[in-house]
Amino acid sequence: MNSVAHKDNPRGNALEILRRVEEGAFADTYLERTRQDFDVRDSAFILELVYGTLRNRALLDWILNRFSAQPVEKTDRWTRNILRLGAYQMLFLDKVPVSAAVDTSVDLAKQYGKKRSYVNALLRNLDRNRGAISYPGTDDKARQLAVLYSHPEWLVRRWTERFGAGTTEAFLLANNHPAPLIIRTNTLRTTREELKASLGSEGVTAVDTKYSPVGLELVSGSGIQALSSYRKGWFMVQDQAAQLISLMLAPKPGETVLDACAAPGGKAAHLAEIMQDRGLLIALDADAGRIEKIRENIRRLGIAIIKTVQGDAARYTDESFDKILIDAPCSGLGVLRRHPDGRWTKSVRTISDRRALQKQILKNCAGLLKPGGAFVYATCTTEPEENEDVVADFMHTRSREFIIDDARLYLPQAAAPLVGSDGFFRTFPREPEMDGFFGVRIVRKS
């Protein structure tokens, strides 16, 4: 980290992370490293500053531009992120005095960006005139929604064209709330009820998830890694939608299974649990660093059947499998509430680039499936080019060998309506409380 990131300076650390995001870094990576050096209160403040600023970046820029002689995006990275941080505290954080937000922003500007007077004047002008701020009109609804809910305009236009302005606005609103904290019970070691009781004994309130039979939503409490149930490997953090994808594959004990794009290992672990830790599960990933993350998770969960392999899912040919999970690399547009930096680092080009890779992985992995076996193709994105279109292209050339299965047969009854008449599982935009996932179960004919 830069020298701005002193251990006693939460705002300075947040500023450094925001600057790095503009250079293409992942906010999560730096948040994880940085917050370890702070107590619980300051760690939470850094998270709020970074995610809050990212979730509201377009709106903050719009407001700041009402009081700036030049668009704030035209200034240097340090200055515009100092302004965003200051404005976010002033407009969204009631517990931060305006004077503290302005003064700390000016202090940062003394050293970074070198535009102390500009920052001071702009933020004080904003404070004096906040009641007179004008916003985009309804003559261009997509642009209005993009500014008010701080999503890229190109993406908002796509969604409004597909779903209408009302549905899009509801999803954008949900996207701007922090994602619920969902965990999955490790059924090799405990039951959901036993896990819930253990959490309750440590002051954590948990409620059963609506769709997943092994999920819990944690609605109060903090410090997951300090919990005894975490250290004992009784659960793993995982959204409901991701849990349902593993249930769709329905591997059986004793089978040979491939998780083709496995890191960080959440779905691989879930598949092993469904298999009662009997058989063989290859957890394949191209990134050596991410493979180590898989190993860390399976060690804590106490799973024996997972074998980690570094390799390219578009070229891997070493074995054949009864079941294959293809959780394909994608644009990640269905998980923007968890990764708000993704709003500003992705583009239409991201979608087309991912689609080419997805088609290669699907083609290769389908060839590894035994007759009578099944695979699930899944993504955490919202766009047809990466979902329905990829499957349609595959089925167009391979329909004599493969058939789309009825995924409802493998899901809990509550989740069955998430599968359409076309056989496709979708949580976007119907269920905004879950991540936006797509999935389809395909069987190779005997």
Query: pLDDT (tens digit, 9 = 90+) per residue, 342-400?
Result: 999 999 999 999 999 999 999 999 999 999 999 999 999 999 999 999 999 999 999 99
Query: Which are the contacts of 168, defined by CB distance < 8 A and separation ≥ 6?
Result: 145, 156, 159, 160, 429
Q: Contact at 8 Å (CB) between 292 and 212?
A: no
Write down the pLDDT at residue 33: 87
Q: In the predicted model, what is the mean pLDDT of the chain?
A: 95
* Band of residue 1 on the pLDDT scale cut at 50, 70, 90: very low
Question: Which is it for strands 321-327 and 369-379: parallel, antiparallel or unpaired?
Answer: parallel
Write down the pLDDT at residue 8: 64
- Catalytic pick among 261, 330, 365, 380: 380
Report the C-alpha gap between 17 and 29 in whole angstroms: 9
Which phi and psi angles does 395 have, rounded to 5°? -70, -30
Domains of the chain, residue spans: 10-132, 142-175, 181-237, 240-444
Residue count (the chain): 446
Average pLDDT estimate for 98-107: 96
Side chain identity, residue 389 = D
Q: What count of other Cβ atoms lies within 10 Å of the Cβ of residue 95?
A: 7
Does a cis peptide bond (omega within 30 degrees of 0) precede residue 429?
yes
Structure tokens of 166? Answer: 């009302």
Write down the pLDDT at residue 6: 57
CATH class of the domain comprising 181-237:
alpha beta
* Band of residue 78 on the pLDDT scale cut at 50, 70, 90: very high
Query: pLDDT (tens digit, 9 = 90+) per residue, 229-247?
Result: 999 999 999 999 999 999 9
Side chain identity, residue 88 = Y
Report the C-alpha gap between 300 and 435 in whole angstroms: 25
* Band of residue 7 on the pLDDT scale cut at 50, 70, 90: low
Report the C-alpha gap between 181 and 238 in whole angstroms: 8
- CA proximity to 55, closest of 337, 431, 332: 337
Residue 2 has pLDDT above 90, yes or no: no
Residue 183 has pLDDT above 80, yes or no: yes
Residue 380 is among the residues annotated as catalytic for this protein: yes
Entry pTM = 0.93
Percent of the chain with pLDDT over 90: 89
Question: Which is it for strands 235-237 and 181-185: parallel, antiparallel or unpaired?
Answer: antiparallel
Report the C-alpha gap between 26 and 343 in whole angstroms: 12
- CA proximity to 411, closest of 214, 257, 259: 214
Q: Per residue, what are the HEC states of the chain?
A: CCCCCCCCCHHHHHHHHHHHHHCCCCHHHHHHHHHCCCCHHHHHHHHHHHHHHHHCHHHHHHHHHCCCCCCHHHCCHHHHHHHHHHHHHHHHCCCCCHHHHHHHHHHHHHHCCCCHHHHHHHHHHHHHHHHHCCCCCCCCHHHHHHHHCCCCHHHHHHHHHHHCHHHHHHHHHHHCCCCCEEEEECCCCCCHHHHHHHHHHCCCCEEECCCCCCEEEECCCCCHHHCHHHHCCCEEECCHHHHHHHHHHCCCCCCEEEECCCCCCHHHHHHHHHCCCCCEEEEEECCHHHHHHHHHHHHHHCCCCEEEEECCCCCCCCCCEEEEEEECCCCCCCCCCCCCCHHHHCCHHHHHHHHHHHHHHHHHHHCCEEEEEEEEEEECCCCHHHCHHHHHHHHHHHCCCEEECCHHHHCCHHHHHHECCCCCEECCCCCCCCCCCEEEEEEECC
Residue 285 has pLDDT above 90, yes or no: yes
Average pLDDT estimate for 149-168: 97
- Topology of domain 240-444, per CATH? Rossmann fold (3.40.50)
Report the C-alpha gap between 161 and 380 in whole angstroms: 20
Write down the pLDDT at residue 36: 84
Report CA 151 to chain centroid distance, whole Å. Answer: 15
181-237 matches 10-132 in CATH topology? no
CATH class of the domain comprising 10-132:
mainly alpha
